[in-house]
Amino acid sequence: MPVEISVRVNGKGFQHQIEPRLLLVHYLRDVLELTGTHVGCETSLCGACTVLLDGKAVKSCTMLAVQVSGSEITTIEGLAAQGPANGGGLHPVQEGFWEKHGLQCGFCTPGMILASVDLLHNNSSPSQDEIRHALSGNLCRCTGYQHIVEAVEYAAKKMKPRKRA
Amino acid sequence: MLPGGGATVWRAPAQEDSMAAATRYLGKPMKRKEDPRLIQGLSHYVDDIVLPNLLHAAILHSPYAHARIRSVDTLKAQSAPGVVLVLTGADIRGAIGPVPCAAVIPDMKAAPRPVLARDRVRFVGEGVAVVVASGSYAARDALDLIEVDYEPLTPVVDPEKAIANGATVLHEGHKDNVAYRWELEGGDVKAAFKNADKIVKQRMINQRLIPVAMEPRGVVADYKPGERQLTVWSSTQIPHLLRTQIAAMLATPEHSVRVITPEVGGGFGSKLNVYPEEALVAYLAMKLGKPVKWIESRRENFQTTIHGRDQINDVEVAVKRDGTILGLRLGIIADLGAYYQLLTPLIPTLTALMSSGCYKIPAIRIEIIGALTNKMATDAYRGAGRPEATYFIERALDLVAAELKKDPVEVRRKNFPKPNEFPYATPTGVIYDSANYDKSLDLALKISDYKKLRLDQAKARKEGRVVGIGLSTYVEICAMGPSSAMPAGGWESATVRIEPTGMVNIMTGSSPHGQGQETSFAQLGAEILGLEPNDVNVVHGDTAIVPYGIGTFGSRATAVGGTAVYKSLMKLREKVAAIAGHILAEDPSNLVFDKMRITSKADAKKSLAFGEAVGAAYVAKTLPPNMEPGLEATTFFEPSNFTFPFGAHVCVVEIDPETGDVRLTKYVAVDDCGNVLNPLLVEGQVQGGIAQAVGQALLEEAVYDEQGQLITGELMDYALPRAGDLPWLETARTVTPSPVNPMGVKGVGEAGTIGATPALANAVADALEPFGVRHVDMPFKRERIWQLMQKGNRRAK
């Protein structure tokens, strides 16, 4: 029996009748056509499907869509608009990944970026060890992570409120 | 700015800086053109492709490693909700040819893999039936309703037992499980071993690995019966070879097949292949007249996408007391798995070719036995046979050093061919193009402060700490390769078209999947034509648009594919210069392309906009006599040799004496890949390669149990390196241009994976030396290391 969910995704409200077993990642990808969230393992081990649920990073491949009814989701497609500069520019974390060559094939990147956003929300100037620890739930097979660490450092610096003299 | 009319972009510079200073874009760390779409979730991987009336396929896999199929009952599945079609191996008999193998080795037994198993399954994960349904959930549900009656047979798992007398034979018509025996000998091996002061022997296991590209494989196929056009989207590294093979497997004319590789989420060799699903999904789309999608799950990816490595290496090195190596004997038992994939039997032969390492070894004998076992096929995984070679020879050099009580650095230096000895021919029949092994080693020792590392180690040992230093000096065979040495051609193609508005399209036969050639080739185009990189667009991975190409693997995209691009660009620059010279009444060889203008070196007033000269090629009213209109050039570049990148890596490990936990505390990599188009991309390749090597050394191991079950069949059980498993990697480069191609590039895609694994293994062996450990096989998991330390401690008491 389909059930109704009501959810805000990237600032827009949606209501849908869905199969109760529909995974959140498939709701985002197949129903809302937001294919920037990727499925890498279906077991919450790789982190490619990471999205923000009420601001916190979650793995959307092991959550049911019905669990998020009433919540606010941010996917990679909705991140740029939330950047401090706004005006359609990139989020500082996205910028960091571009500037520091934090991606190669790009498949893990949306999840990696959203996990980094969550980290910087909780810790505005993380050490390299803290970055590595915070991203331990997100696998990347291409980069060896070093450029990702630098990307997050870049974003942290950029996001820090500047002290006026 | 480029020298006008020169034959090369830049001349072999002694220092990379001097090259970068002479260019506007080449050699510069330009950030990637690919990234904006990837960091915003706007790119399209196979699973992101949606077509009207799309159906979804799911495949039923064998739970047995070895069994006879008595019957397959699909009746219930066929009537399940949403199900459109269910097919078994018997249903497609004769309709789809077997999975192709391009490798040919004399006297090799055939082991073709059917697209779906018919009478017998030979590894866990082999496809038995396929369901097509209206949705992916419905398709998966219906798999549970298929009933297969299996009669289990004895699984053959261990490769040595597989080739022993009396083993159960996998394939009908074979008398045993030996796929082939292959021997290679160069120099007087008998004399070398007779004259040796010492013979150092060791068995080494290069364990089976699983590539685990972050994007699993996937296929979408669409057939338009009216136009008789089949379009296949696949996550592959070889779109053109795949098109040819799909046409052959389906007995369909090749001109009616189009393969598109959209964004590809990593390959590492695992997508340098032709898989059953690529033909099967195309067949289903043709049969049903509707588009069909199949997306591999991660479990399927572990079980049914190729594995890598899996060799047993028996090594014997004949040496003089002073450390001079006289000869090498190597026995390889390669576990090929149950069937051949595209290059399966070939991979161990690459190990043989590179068994000399970066050393002058005058006599070498190698024997390879390919073993058929009830496992997934092994094939090309990042490095493909060469990491195995580098691993055993670098471990052997350390064993020689230990035996002779010499420093590993000294033994290596003693046996390096010197820069003036290149091109250097090995007894295995390959010719190294160019190198300066001492130089990269010097730099690695300097950056790591090797002498101090040894002093620190001595101090640490006194404090009871377990610290090891590892060194590796490697050479790899890249830029694959001259066609004479490749199973399916080793050239690469590129078409460059300057469009009427002056915008440039580069259509490359390479098929990048993360490497960044959309950026580096744009840099090349901008440099040669005096444009901005954004004026140059790179198109790849669509057989309807791009000229027939070979693909991206074997660190060949820049050295072979890039050279084809370079040559096409030079042809067009010559043509545009001729047009501009005609309009300006100037000798074309005096013209310089820069900042979107073409200007005379002799007379700056003789100048016109690049776009004006391009426009003239299309309007075709002011062309020089007898010149064809248009601006398009195609090159099929055939390299004269492989390239041989090299380098030196130094690392430090510290082992926890209580737990056996190996921590990598320092890593220094000096790599030489010749000239580079974009150092940022090279850096990314090196770091990522090292991470995969760390994976092999410390974490990764594909384990099949005695029944042939893959017990490391998920990311939970197969440990990939995570961010916290790696230290800060210090990297540097020396630059020894390759003479094999005009740009002097060598390739870098596999360097890290090839160079780093032995450095790590040497460090761990060095750390355990006080415990009486001579050699330990990878991966260096805690329990293995801890047990060795316990044994050593007991011996000491």
pLDDT of residue A84: 43
In chain A, residues with a C-beta closer than 8 Å to the C-beta of B215 are 38, 40, 105, 107
Beta strands in B76-138, from DSSP E residues, in sequence order = 83-88, 120-121, 127-133
Verify that B26 and B95 share a domain, yes or no: no
CATH number reported for the structural domain that contains residue B487 in this entry: 3.30.365.10
Please name the residue of chain A whose CA is at the shortest distance from the CA of residue B267. A105
Task: Write down which residue in B285, B304, B323 finishes a domain.
Answer: B304
Q: Tally the domains of chain B.
A: 2
Residue A12 CB-density burial (10 A; 0-12 exposed, 13-18 middle, 19+ buried):
exposed
Contact between chains at B681 and A35 (C-beta distance less than 8 A): no
Residue of B32, B214, B728 to mutate for A, most A C-beta atoms under 10 A: B214
Verify that B498 and B573 share a domain, yes or no: yes
Verify that B66 and B25 share a domain, yes or no: no
Task: Compute the distance between CA of residue A78 and CA of residue A63 in angstroms, rounded to an integer.
Answer: 20
- Residue appearing with tokens 């972009």: B9
Does B358 map to a domain? Answer: no
Contact between chains at A101 and B683 (C-beta distance less than 8 A): yes
pLDDT at A137 over 90: yes
Identify the CA nearest to B339 among candidates B589, B116, B27.
B116
B547 CB-near residues (< 8 Å, 6+ apart): B493, B494, B495, B507, B509, B634, B636
Verify that B21 and B124 share a domain, yes or no: no
Verify that B76 and B21 share a domain, yes or no: no
Whole-Å CA distances, B6 to B2, B567, B593: 8, 12, 12
> What DSSP line would sit under B183-225, residue for residue?
EEEES-HHHHHHS-SEEEEEEEEEEEE----SSPPEEEEEEET
> What DSSP line would sit under B761-797, residue for residue?
HHHHHHHTGGGT----PSP--HHHHHHHHHHHHHHH-
Which segments of B334-375 does DSSP mark as H helices, in order? Answer: 347-353
- Residue appearing with tokens 């080494």: B204
Encoded amino acid at B424, one letter: Y
Task: Compute the distance between CA of residue B726 and CA of residue B188 in angstroms, rounded to an integer.
Answer: 44
Distance from CA of B68 to the nearest CA of A (A): 31
Residue B4 CB-density burial (10 A; 0-12 exposed, 13-18 middle, 19+ buried):
middle
A153 touches chain B (CB under 8 A): no
Verify that B545 and B595 share a domain, yes or no: yes
Please name the residue of chain B whose CA is at the shortest distance from the CA of residue A142. B688
Altogether, the residues listed in chain B come to a count of: 797
Verify that B581 and B509 share a domain, yes or no: yes
- Backbone φ and ψ for B738, nearest 5 degrees, come out as -85, 135
Enclosing H/E stretch for B440: helix B437-448
Whole-Å CA distances, B259 to A69, B232, B242, B282, B376: 40, 5, 7, 10, 26
pLDDT of residue A163: 56
Does B557 map to a domain? Answer: yes
Q: Quick check: B762 and B394 in contact, CB under 8 A? A: yes
Verify that B20 and B84 share a domain, yes or no: no
Verify that B22 and B147 share a domain, yes or no: no
Q: Quick check: A38 and A47 in contact, CB under 8 A? A: no
**pTM of the model as a whole:** 0.96
Residue B169 structure tokens? 């034979």
Does B538 map to a domain? Answer: yes
- Residue appearing with tokens 């469009």: B499
A75 touches chain B (CB under 8 A): yes
pLDDT band at A162 (very low <50, low <70, confident <90, very high): low
B198 CB-near residues (< 8 Å, 6+ apart): B318, B319, B321, B400, B403, B404
pLDDT tens per residue, range A14-59? 999 999 999 999 999 999 999 999 999 999 999 999 999 999 999 9
CATH number reported for the structural domain that contains residue B256 in this entry: 3.90.1170.50
Q: 3-state DSSP: chain B helix, strand, coil percent, rounded to 5?
A: 30, 25, 45
* Residue B232: domain span: 46-153+212-304
- Residue appearing with tokens 């893959």: B710
Task: Compute the distance between CA of residue B13 and CA of residue B520 in angstroms, rounded to an integer.
Answer: 19
Does B218 map to a domain? Answer: yes
Verify that B20 and B148 share a domain, yes or no: no
Q: Count Cα neighbours of B318 within 13 Å in the Cβ-side half-sphere.
A: 19
Residue B754 CB-density burial (10 A; 0-12 exposed, 13-18 middle, 19+ buried):
buried
Q: How far is residue B621 CA from its own chain's centroid?
A: 49
Does B57 map to a domain? Answer: yes
Does B504 map to a domain? Answer: yes
A35 CB-near residues (< 8 Å, 6+ apart): A29, B41, B44, B45, B47, B48
Residue B449 CB-density burial (10 A; 0-12 exposed, 13-18 middle, 19+ buried):
middle
Task: Write down which residue in B596, B619, B637 finishes a domain.
Answer: B637
Contact between chains at A43 and B298 (C-beta distance less than 8 A): yes
pLDDT at A4 over 90: yes
Contact between chains at B516 and A104 (C-beta distance less than 8 A): yes
Cis peptide before B357 (omega within 30 of 0): no
pLDDT tens per residue, range B228-277? 999 999 999 999 999 999 999 999 999 999 999 999 999 999 999 999 99
| Alpha-carbon dihedral sign for residues B367, B372, B375, B378 | positive
Task: Write down which residue in B603, B637, B671 finishes a domain.
Answer: B637
In chain B, residues with a C-beta closer than 8 Å to the C-beta of A22 are 137
Task: Compute the distance between CA of residue B155 and CA of residue B287 in angstroms, rounded to an integer.
Answer: 36
**What b/e sequence results for B652-665 when a residue is b if at least 16 CB atoms lie within 10 Å of its CB, and e otherwise?**
bbbbeeeebebebe
Does B161 map to a domain? Answer: no
A98 touches chain B (CB under 8 A): yes
- Residue from the list A39, A77, A99 with its beta carbon closest to the beta carbon of B31: A99
Verify that B145 and B65 share a domain, yes or no: yes
Are β-strands B729-733 and B662-672 bridged in parallel, bridged antiparallel, or unpaired?
parallel
Distance from CA of A165 to the nearest CA of B (A): 33
The residue ranges of chain B whose pLDDT is under 70 are 1-21
Task: Compute the distance between CA of residue A115 and CA of residue A104 in angstroms, rounded to an integer.
Answer: 17
Residues 2-31 on A with a CB inside 8 Å of B are 19, 21-22, 26, 29
B515 touches chain A (CB under 8 A): yes
Domains of chain A (ranges, CATH numbers): 3-78 (3.10.20.30), 80-159 (1.10.150.120)
pLDDT at A165 over 50: no
Which residue has better confidence, A151 or A164? Answer: A151
Residues 186-225 on B with a CB inside 8 Å of A are 212-216
Task: Compute the distance between CA of residue B188 and CA of residue B175 in angstroms, rounded to an integer.
Answer: 34
pLDDT of residue B478: 95
Q: First CA to last CA across chain A, in angstroms?
A: 62
Task: Compute the distance between CA of residue B572 and CA of residue B139 in angstroms, rounded to an integer.
Answer: 52
Task: Compute the distance between CA of residue A29 and CA of residue B238 in angstroms, rounded to an integer.
Answer: 27
Does B282 map to a domain? Answer: yes
Verify that B540 and B496 share a domain, yes or no: yes
